[in-house]
Structure 1
Amino acid sequence: MNLIKRNGNHTPGFHRSFFDDIFGRELFNWENNNFSTTSTTLPSVNIKETKDTYEVEVAAPGLEKNDFKVTLDGNLLTISSEKENKQVSEQQNFTRREFSYQSFQRSFELPKNVVDEENISARYENGLLLLSIPKKEEAKQKPPRMIEIQ
């Protein structure tokens, strides 16, 4: 018996793509929720597949590009940040305090022999860390072709 995580927006018989199966397995967050062990929120991640690339968006407002570390070890892509939480002086009287810039780490297993590891790029703009992961030429989906019957 296989256990399959289902989202409420999937219709019966809908088959997820290979990319969803691979990227949907977050190695260190099996419950796939957005809360760390200290109940602070982890940055939300969007991952989409185009015919040429995988695009990863990490929502991390309040951080700077130098706060991030993105590594690729084999086929394990890890996005992390170690932002120091500045101590609040006793003179500041917060009615409500929700900002939390705790260190985080999110890891994703990339499909083997599919991505062009040498050309992965990342940029940070408007509170989003954007990664572009190009596919190898042989992994790109080819348009259908007619096969002549002889």
Structure 2
Amino acid sequence: MQNDNIKRWLELAKQFQQGQFWDSVFDSDYTEQMMKQFSATDGTAKSASSFPRADVLLGMREMLIRVDLPGVRKEDVELSVSDNAVVVKGIVHPFAQNMKIVQTERHTGEFERAISLPESIAPQGKITARFENGLLEIRIPRVQRPREEIKID
């Protein structure tokens, strides 16, 4: 029964690909194009989703977010917050502008990262941020809900 389904699937695939279905699946140019989407070809290793790196920690009274921003100046960073995310946006200027890049693993250029929060932020909460030596530290007070009795019917 399973072989019959595979044969039908292959016949259908041949109709859509004029008999060249498997050639296009295993085509080296196609594979190379797919790999280029996941890695840069100029010696750089950039991933928009992982820069800047961040840690989110929960304490009894506050959330602490630590964001690594090596080589970034305080005035090149923008910070905003919504109910469920902190957005860090800015620019990393190239270190040596007159030199040819042979290999780099550092991010340069503009960046923006939304860091999801594990809980909503209290509107009256006082959020503080401090930037020192390439480390952005954001402190967000946690919502302190009083214990509420629930009537059981």
**TM-score of the superposed pair, with normalisation by structure 1:** 0.54
| Structure having greater relative contact order (Cα 8 Å, sep ≥ 6) | 1
The 1:76/1:95 distance shift into structure 2, 3 A limit, reads: closer
1:40 and 1:130 mapped to 2: Cα distance? 23
2:79–2:89 CA contact under 8 A, matched in 1:
yes
The correspondence of residues 1-150 of structure 1 with structure 2, limited to 5 A, is 39-41=45-47, 42-85=51-94, 88-89=97-98, 92=99, 96-110=103-117, 111-112=119-120, 114-115=121-122, 118-138=125-145
Which residue does 1:17 correspond to in 2? Answer: none
Percent identity (aligned):
21
Aligned residues: 102
Distance 1:93 1:70, change over 3 A: closer
Superimposed CA distance per residue, residues 74-97 of structure 1 (whole angstroms, 9 cap, x where no aligned partner): 4432111133447822xx466644
Partner amino acid, structure 2, of 1:82: I
Q: Distance in 1 between matches of 2:104 and 2:89?
A: 23
Classify 1:100/1:106 alpha carbon distance in 2 versus 1 (closer, same or farther; 3 Å). closer
Structure 2 Cα separation of the partners of residues 128 and 61 of structure 1: 7
Cα distance in 1 for residues equivalent to 2:88 and 2:59: 21
Q: CA RMSD in A?
A: 3.1
Structure 1: runs of 5 or more not aligned: 1-35, 143-150
C-alpha distance in 1 between matches for 2:83 and 2:62: 18
Higher helix share: 2
Measure the CA separation in 1 of the matches of 2:124 and 2:91.
Answer: 24
Structure 2 residue runs of 5 or longer lacking an equivalent are: 1-37, 148-153
Counterpart-to-counterpart distance in 1, 2:140 and 2:60: 11
> TM-score by structure 2 length?
0.53
Secondary structure of 1:123's aligned partner:
strand
